[in-house]
Structure 1
Amino acid sequence: MALPAPPNYDPNLLDDFMVEFEEAHEFSENTLVELEKHPADEELLHKLFRSVHTIKGNLTFIGFQILVPLLQSVEDILSAVRNEEFGFTREISDVVLLSLDRTKELIAELSGGDDSGTTESSLDHLSQLIASVATCDDKSREARLHSIILELDPSTLALSDPSTNQEDTHPELVHLDTSLGKIEKLLLAHQVTIDDDIAFFFSLMKPLEARSTYWSGRSFRLLLIALSMNHKAGNPINSTQLTTAVIMHDISMAFLPLDILHKSTVYNADERKIVQNHAISSHQLLKNMNRWAEAAEMVLQHHEHFDGMGYPEGLSDEHICHGAKVLAIIDAYDAITHERAHTSRVKRPFIRAVLEINSLSGSQFSPYWIEIFNSVIKMLHARGLV
């Protein structure tokens, strides 16, 4: 049974309400991005709390009281963080964002839109579950947050091995021989010939992905987005060179000690130097094969920033090749979405990852390629491919 019609709803107020809601929603999104960078910033936390509180008050004013407990539960978490009962985390950020998205979805339903499938009892259960985060013990809080994220967005469930998910087959490739692997079919669709060199690079993928639990299924995910972005832009990058760069760009990372590769805290100066050297080392391996000079350049530059603040050479916009700009975006997106999938099997919400990538447009990433990324990633997400 759908949510009951609100008895005091005033449709004449809806347009004004939605304008204010969209503004508060966007403000909250941007504040969450900044809070993840500065989780101890009391002013940012206060602004986020006030934004959520304003939305909650407006819901009451327009007659959507049935949605108030959901945002009250979010306030309960933020109040506990403000009172320093526990710290602000990325999981809390995701719960806040997804709760606002669910609120928006339910507003649409209550104002005459499609049935979301949410019942009054399921909404009460969700509100109570979110509110319980503020009072549960420290040991169970993270697991509680993960369960809430999954309930709010089931697509955040990470497969144990994404590379074996048969439902991810690219819709453009279904006519091809099903005995071919997903990556082979993807490359054929983008007219990339699988010759001896490409086959050799492929042979390295499985042991490379096995080196770190972060990397399972990563090669296909990156290739799908990279080749799709290039296609959307009119193929300004040689697809074969781009394919090689995607597969080989982090090969030297596999030779790092695991305690550095999997370190969850900030690198010290020596560790940072070791990690940053991987772009040069991977570049050198490809440079030794004369045919792959273009791919080698992409690999060398994939940690350069649009504003010149990257490494290893501090190049800026016009001095960074297009392939490296694409590789930088997709590498960061995959790292964001799969940063905790190896431990909790919960990926970061899609919209949260896209917001974080977009917040770096014009500084870390090329604005032109961010626009291409936005178009492609929304299409792939709508098809269930990312």
Structure 2
Amino acid sequence: MQNLFDNMNEGFAIHEVFCDSDGNPVDYAFLEVNKAFEVITQLKSEVIKGKRITEILPNTEKVWIEKYGKVALTGVSDHFVNYSGELDKYFSVSVYSPSKNQFATLFTDVSDIKRLEKILSQEKNLLLTTLHALVDGVISTDENGRIDMMNPAAEELTGWQAIEAKGESLEEVFCIRQEKNILLTQKGGNVIPIEYAASPIIDHTETSRGHVIIFRDYTEKLEKEERILYLSYHDQLTGLYNRRFFEEESIRLNTARNLPLTLAVCDVNGLKLTNDAFGHLAGDELLKKISEILRVECRSDDIIARIGGDEFAIILPKTDAHDAENIVSRIYEATQLNSVNHIILSISIGWSVKTDMRQSMEDVFVSAEEMMYRRKLTESQSMRNQTIKTILNTLYTQNQREQAHSERVSKISVEIGRALGFEYNMIKDLETASLMHDIGKIVLDTALLTKSGEITDKEYEEIKRHPECSYQILKSVDQYSDLADYVLSHHEHWDGKGYPRGLVGDEIPLISRIITVADAYDSMTTDRPYRKAMSKEEALDELSRCAGSQFDSNIVNVFIKLDIES
């Protein structure tokens, strides 16, 4: 028996309980311990035998004395797991009373198990915290396909509460169907697109114990994908198809059943002129208006695309030359009836019909493009001439003083030209150039042109842009292109200190030098918002003073002589 006692793996000890005057246990003594006790507790028998626990381990928790004392006094056995701070160990203890006021303990060290349980508990809490924080829905099932767990995101996505879903079949809670996308029907009946992944839960025996499903709402991602797809085939400004889509459709529709097939190429006339004169926003509005007209006048099966900055193309399946001409006529009529902020619309259209599969689409396109360019030769110039008139009307409507100033400058310039012996054609060039010398002011803010106070350096730099703008506007129209250089140079000075190019002396065109004198004289002798007009005598004196520096001396002398004679 003693041999069994000494060689058992469990620690064993017999104790005697000591109570206070009220009969409450307050201490206990060691009567007998086995070798396993010494190994587990590191307390030697010869040291502790006969001594009390408060002597050996004075900081022993009160709960140990109370639990052991209860067994010793009542004779009722107990089993529990508890932690000893003095020994820094967990013990699984079975305790019974062999006789009155005594108790015997049989115990094992379960510290490693308890620490492992603590680690597992921490990991479980971390996992649960992570699952609850995930924006993706997570559902786990048992081996029978019934819901075991759902995180809050899964509750929101399915419409089911975890408590009510637990034990339900996966198909009931996670109700999905495959169409173009995977669709989840929520508890309330709403349907949302999702993406998901499922994995089996495998135990140590390689047996499936259920599944984990991870899923998310695909709505926003789907909208982004659809938006990207839309942009990849559409022009962002007009909403029409783009060149990529046009080229793909040209291949797809190139079949015998679509013959006769017409390709139309359209080019917006005067877009650059509109951009230069009224700004790119006005040009954008013009393109959008043209696009709207094309949509309205073409048929639902026709493919309309913006294939370049100012170029559009149309694929018209099952359309012969007669039908194509009718559609093009409707487009022309619609453009003539519309405008954008008084800017006229003009478009040149060429078309070609494919009637035989042996014709290549490339050849048909080239043929349509050549026709468009032939029409553009006349239609574009007509439109640009009208746009020039629109620009002048707009400028003069905004600032009537500019109209009067341009007309006076033109009159003075013509008189100087005649005095210099100009021929008729040169007189006409001088008249037109001087009349349009400030057309580039259309790009300036009206408030700046009518400002009553002194202008700032920054505002002056803005005003100095107008000769270049005038040049760009007139250069785009064949009828006025030869005059563009004259208006560009009308603020150049004889000494090279003018703008925009700093030309010197005879480098400045003669017509520009004349306009410079006429412009300066009229400006000095006319009331301006920021100053009163000079007298004619003062203006002539200023011209004379600046002759040879700002002005061509010869032209100043001719003008002064004209003024004296008049």
Larger radius of gyration: 2
Higher relative contact order (CA 8 A, sep 6+): 1
TM-score by length of 1: 0.43
Higher helix share: 1
